[in-house]
Amino acid sequence: MAYSIVFTGKGGTGKTTLAGITVRYLKERTGKTVLAVDADSNSCLNEALGVKVHATIGGLREESLAAIRSSGPRPGGMTTEQLFDYQVQQSIIESPGFDLIVMGRPEGPGCYCAANNIIRKYTDKLSESYPYVVIDNEAGMEHLSRRNSTNVNLMFIVSDATAKGIKTARRINDLARELDLKVDRCVLIINRAEGEAAEALKAAAEAEGLVVDGIIPNDQAIFTIDLNGRPVFDIPSDAPSLKVMYGILDGQGVA
């Protein structure tokens, strides 16, 4: 079974960028192919990794439902389940050093349950073939309440440099405990924080019972790649944010 790393936190904290940096780290440090999972309906991990999406789990489910309703012939006489399995395998985006699957939009307005269940099933199934899985979860705590983040080796809760971000991180941490999720280690990363503000936020987080694993500074290199729509692989190797995140992953003994 793969070593699984999950990123969660409120929207706008930079968790997708950090998830992408983690894929880059594992690609560089291990030389093995990583399974990246974009479990956010507002899919953007592909942009952080610099690849195009040709199919999503949500879209494939819509196609399967349409096929059931039409009662038309299926390729090779496959059952609906066999066809869907085949389509999911075909939807995997392959790139040197990593493969990516994307949840995408769900089947109906405001309803994410089926798409979430499907991506959890296939993440578990596919992870048997990969040494590492990196999951970028949707913002907030919905994925936890739906138990989408079970059997996790390392959960990074990402907060921005605000008191609100720290409070959201505490609620996520508390919910993970209340649901008795199988998370080996859950730690906090405070993103885009520096100086006295960083120390104050760290103290506030520790007062909330959170384990602060690292503080990532504001970084012009990250701003530049985001502004120009470039992937995390274009971040200079000496960029402060990259060096700090690599140090965090080294400290966790990930690779």
Q: Is the pLDDT of residue 61 over 80?
A: no
CA distances from 196 to 52, 134, 193, 203, 215 (A): 40, 32, 9, 11, 12
Query: For 205-241, how does the pLDDT look when each residue is reduced to its tens digit (9 = 90+)?
Result: 999 999 999 999 999 999 999 999 999 999 999 999 9
Q: What would the mean pLDDT of 86-94 be, rounded to a whole number?
A: 84
Domain ranges of the chain: 3-251
Report, as an integer, the average pLDDT of 47-73.
75
Tokens read off for 114: 């089926």
Closest CA to 192 of 228, 230, 157, 218: 218
Classify residue 217 by its DSSP letter: P
Q: Structure tokens of 231?
A: 């992937």
- Share above pLDDT 90 across residues of the chain, in percent, rounded to a whole number: 56
Return phi, psi of residue 111, to 5°: -110, 115
Per-residue confidence at 40, pLDDT binned at 50, 70, 90?
confident
Is the pLDDT higher at 177 or at 130? Answer: 130
pLDDT at 185 over 70: yes
At the second CATH level, the architecture of 3-251 is: 3-Layer(aba) Sandwich (3.40)
